[in-house]
Amino acid sequence: MKLRKVTAASAVVLALAVTATACGSSDDKDSGSSGGGKKIAIGIKFDQPGIGQKTPQGYTGFDVDVAKYVAKKLGYDEDQIQWKEAKSADRETMLQRGDVQFIAASYSITPEREEKVDFAGPYLLAHQDVLVRADDDSIKSPADLNSKKLCSVTGSTSAQNVRDKLAPKANLLKYPTYSACLTGLQNKAVDALTTDDSILAGYASQDQFKGKFKLGGLKMTNENYGIGVKKGSDLKDKINKALEEMVADGSWEKAVQANFGPANYQYEPAPKIGDVKS
């Protein structure tokens, strides 16, 4: 009898241990949509200084600051965030698969993307622009790019768009990275680099480039940065509320100045939620 009692007790303890382990495993994997879980997975860029960059010290950039603020409003502390790299070509798939709860990664709102995912925001209105040397005053309009050496990153359509629509005689040079373009710009191998002004400002704000470049202020396109969520997710409204609060309490302005200030970025005021500029 005594042996049977011990065996029964052991079975109960074992059952409780298995249950506790199962519960712990569930909690560890829970990335609930309203802050109820232990972790939240957020997609950002890992290679865009000033926007989203992975460094030995952690993650930095305007999108990172926005994502942290939103996560906090959703009930997550910074140490509960799982950062995941959201490359441009992978963003919709990451959201559709549930790899991340939301993406803040210089993610322009477009009709084509809205067919696949939902967007909160916009939270920043950027424009396609050019970056030139600080002492170069020869480029004051898109037409001035004709016959200029315009740097394009391999795989990007920004420079091609300029030549197709605004400066047909621009001389396109393709470099592997934006950093290579900046080195070429510094060495006068190229005359200008083009992409979103926010991205250009982020690169120009790096310590090694401070004071060497300036934005042209051409505003060739409107790029409405939004936070992507899975189609039909209830996170959209919650994130919109968080973005409104970020603007209202001054955190948005602080984040812009901290990440883009050194490049003298003439940024637009915080856009109103739902106001997507065409």
CATH code of the domain in which 201 resides: 3.40.190.10
Q: Per DSSP, what are the bridge partners of residue 193?
A: 131, 151
pLDDT at 69: 98
Length in residues, the chain? 278
Amino acid letter, residue 7: T
Same domain (yes/no): 119, 245: yes
Same domain (yes/no): 54, 78: yes
The Cα 67–Cα 69 span in angstroms is 5
State which of 176, 193, 215 marks the end of a domain: 215
- Domain presence at residue 52: yes
- Domain presence at residue 277: no
Owner of token pair 């739902």: 274
pLDDT at 4: 43
- Domain presence at residue 99: yes
Domain range spanning residue 137?
128-215
Same domain (yes/no): 206, 132: yes
Same domain (yes/no): 119, 229: yes
Same domain (yes/no): 114, 250: yes
- Domain presence at residue 15: no
Same domain (yes/no): 242, 119: yes
Same domain (yes/no): 191, 237: no
pLDDT at 2: 43
pLDDT at 15: 44
State which of 180, 196, 215 marks the end of a domain: 215
What angle do the packed helices 197-204 and 251-260 form, to 10 degrees? 60
Per-residue pLDDT of the chain (278 residues), as tens digits, is 444 444 444 444 434 443 443 443 333 333 444 445 589 999 999 999 999 999 999 999 999 999 999 999 999 999 999 999 999 999 999 999 999 999 999 999 999 999 999 999 999 999 999 999 999 999 999 999 999 999 988 877 788 889 899 999 999 999 988 889 999 999 999 999 999 999 999 998 988 888 999 999 999 999 999 999 999 999 999 999 999 999 999 999 999 999 998 787 889 999 999 999 99
Same domain (yes/no): 117, 164: no
Pick from 16, 65, 18, 11: nearest CA to 42: 65
- Domain presence at residue 27: no
Domain count, the chain: 2
pLDDT at 7: 44
Same domain (yes/no): 178, 139: yes
pLDDT at 23: 40
Which of left, alpha, beta for 64 (phi over 0: left; psi -120 to 50: alpha)? alpha
Pick from 192, 202, 249: nearest CA to 225: 202
Same domain (yes/no): 136, 196: yes
Give me the numbers of helices (H) and strands (E) for the chain, helices first please.
Answer: 9, 13
* H/E element, 96: helix 91-97
- Domain presence at residue 189: yes
Tokens coding 71? 């996560």
Same domain (yes/no): 56, 188: no
In sequence order, which residues have a C-beta less than 8 Å from that of residue 220 and are 6 or more positions away?
127, 128, 129, 142, 161, 162, 166, 194
Contacts for 48-51 with beta carbons within 8 Å, 24 or more apart? Answer: 48/106, 48/199, 48/202, 49/202, 49/203, 49/205, 49/206, 50/198, 50/199, 50/201, 50/202, 50/203, 50/205, 50/206, 50/259, 50/260, 50/263, 51/105, 51/106, 51/198, 51/199, 51/202, 51/259
- Domain presence at residue 166: yes
pTM of this structure = 0.81
- Domain presence at residue 241: yes
Same domain (yes/no): 170, 150: yes
CB atoms within 10 A of CB 48: 21
